[in-house]
Amino acid sequence: MLVSAAPQLSDLEVVDAWYGILEVTTDLFETASWRGALEALAAELNDKTLLEWEAIGQLLEPYDLAGAREEVLSNYKV
């Protein structure tokens, strides 16, 4: 998908982009909000194996995912 989204990138630039994506993802899941949301979602899926969109929204509502995302992304140049 990355290659399709940015066909002008060289192979090395695609690899660098992937490393950047993985770094941001790691930073997100190191925040209490994202980690808590992931743990809550995993526990619920372990019990039910299938969740409707509304149930997922209610489950994740207590976590400030947008705030954590903004905080993490503020550490990167855009």
77 has a pLDDT exceeding 80: no
Q: What is the average pLDDT across 61-72?
A: 95
pLDDT tens digits for range 30-56: 999 999 999 999 999 999 989 999 999
How much is the pLDDT for 49? 84
78 has a pLDDT exceeding 70: no
**Alpha-carbon separation of residue 71 from 5, 21, 41, 50 (angstroms):** 25, 16, 22, 31
